[in-house]
Amino acid sequence: MESINYEKATLEEYGYKDRRVLKKVFKIFNFVVVIGIIILIYLPIFVIALQSVNASNDLSVFTTFTITNYIHMFSDRMFATSVKNTLIVTLISTLIATIFGTLIAIGINSFEKKKRSKIILLNNIPLLNADIVTGISLMLVFSILLPIFPYLFGLPTLILAHVFFTLPYVVLSVLPKLKEIDPNLMDAAVDLGVKPYKSIYKVIVPAVNAGIFSGMLLAFTTSIDDFVVSYFTVGNGFDNLSIWIYGSIGKKSLNPAVYAFSTSLTLLMLFVLIVIYNLGKVRNKKNGKKV
């Protein structure tokens, strides 16, 4: 009996050691995977940032450090025009998508559960649909309207197309915040004498401003780097940045201003995120003190 108990104890000890070894191997594997994912995500950004201060246009050679690409970023007229067009389309479409997406989310939230789920399903179709299918579909719709509106293609079609695929992001960002607030909040405001349309921006909007802001950021980032939908819905003589870059790929080297602008935009978005994060921490500390 003693020998049997000793063998069992020995086996349990070895099993415990094996589990410890497996846990260590699993932790190492997780660490390697996480590092690999981080490298895959941020390596292209680092390469673009490095190339933006490279005096050589050759990606495989780094000659000397220079900030000339930043100083003369908009010296190329075609590049400057494409950036201007991109910002115009992005800002207008983001503003429209944010306003209408918020109103649509408030309307969806007021429906019954069955109707709400059906409308949310319809809202998710543009998100799940392939970009090329969305682009071709919108191009066909705009082509049908072309005899009625001869100058439709260009800025109008690009704005409409960007609103089409960015608006669902705003709706999905605002809906969870609406579920967190008291459903009787708007009725209470109306009972206190506030008109229904005023209660939306005086009561509801302040309560869900975090969801509205996150949806606005999603709409902005999705719109500013879109290529596929823009390619099929833009008209002749009007290019955004992504289409201009696509047209410049056939050249021997890309304009260095593209690297400088991309790096500047990345740093700007990073700065905005840091500011938002710090403001959130300050707000949480103030709320903690009040409690």
Residue 219 is assigned to a structural domain of this protein: yes
Query: Token pair for residue 120?
Result: 């949310």
Domain that residue 201 falls in: 78-254
Residue 10 is assigned to a structural domain of this protein: no
Each of the 291 residues of the chain gets a pLDDT tens digit; together they read 545 554 455 545 555 566 777 778 888 888 899 898 888 888 888 888 888 888 877 767 778 888 888 888 888 888 888 889 999 999 999 999 999 999 999 888 888 888 888 888 888 888 888 888 988 999 898 888 888 887 778 888 999 999 999 999 999 999 988 888 777 777 676 667 777 677 777 778 888 888 888 899 889 989 988 888 988 888 777 888 888 888 877 665 677 888 888 898 888 888 888 887 887 777 777 766 444
CA distance 164 to 36: 35
CA distance 110 to 133: 32
**Cβ contacts of residue 193 below 8 Å, gap of 6+?**
none
User: What one-letter code names the amino acid at 272?
Assistant: V
For 33-94, the DSSP string reads HHHHHHHHHHHHHHHHHHHHTBSSS-TT----B--HHHHTTT-SHHHHHHHHHHHHHHHHHH
Query: Token pair for residue 190?
Result: 């109306």
Residue 28 is assigned to a structural domain of this protein: no
pTM (two decimals): 0.79
Residue 17 is assigned to a structural domain of this protein: no
Residue 259 is assigned to a structural domain of this protein: no
Contact 175, 108 (CB under 8 A): yes
What is the CB-side half-sphere exposure of residue 80 using CA atoms within 13 A? Answer: 7
What is the CB-side half-sphere exposure of residue 284 using CA atoms within 13 A? Answer: 6
Q: What is the CATH number of the domain that holds 163?
A: 1.10.3720.10
Residue 195 is assigned to a structural domain of this protein: yes
Residue 64 is assigned to a structural domain of this protein: no
Residue 140 is assigned to a structural domain of this protein: yes
Within the chain, residue ranges assigned H as helices are 2-52, 68-71, 77-109, 113-128, 131-145, 155-180, 185-191, 196-199, 205-207, 209-224, 228-233, 241-248, 256-290
Distance of CA 124 to the CA centre of its chain: 16
How many distinct structural domains can be found in the chain?
A: 1
